[in-house]
Structure 1
Amino acid sequence: MRAFIRGSYPLVPSVLFAVCWAYGVTGLFALTGPPAGPWRPSPWTAVAALTIALDMLLMRIIDDIRDLPYDRVHNPHRPLATGAVTGSSLLRWYAGIAALLVLLNLFDAWAALVVAAQLAYALLLLLPGPDPGRLVLTLVLSSPVQLLLHLYLYTVLLHTTGGGFDPSFWTALAVVSLATLHLEVAKKITRAPRPGERTYVTTFGLPATVAVALLSATGSALLLAPWGSALTLLPLAFPAVAWWRFRRAERWDARLALLFVLASFATWALIAAGGTS
Structure 2
Amino acid sequence: MSLMKNVWVFSDKQDILAEICAGAHQLGERVTALLIGNQSTADEVIKAGADHVYLMGELDGSRMVEDFLPTIEKLVEDHKPELIIFGNTKRGKLMAGRLAAKRGTSVLADVIEFAEDGTCKRRVYGGAAISTIKSNAEVAIATVGSGVFGPQSLDESRQGTTEKVEFIPADSKIKCLERRAKGSVTVNLTAAKRVVAVGRGFAEKEDLKMAEELAELIGAEIACTRPIAEGLDWLPRERYVGVSGVMFKPDLYIALGISGQIQHMVGCNQSKTIIAINKDKAAPIFKQVDYGIVGDLYKVLPTLIEKLKAGK
Which band: TM-score by shorter chain?
A: under 0.3
Higher strand share: 2
Q: Normalization by structure 2: what TM-score?
A: 0.23
Using CA pairs under 8 Å that are at least 6 residues apart, name the structure with larger relative contact order, 1 or 2.
1
Q: Normalization by structure 1: what TM-score?
A: 0.24
- The structure with the larger Rg is 2
Higher helix share: 1
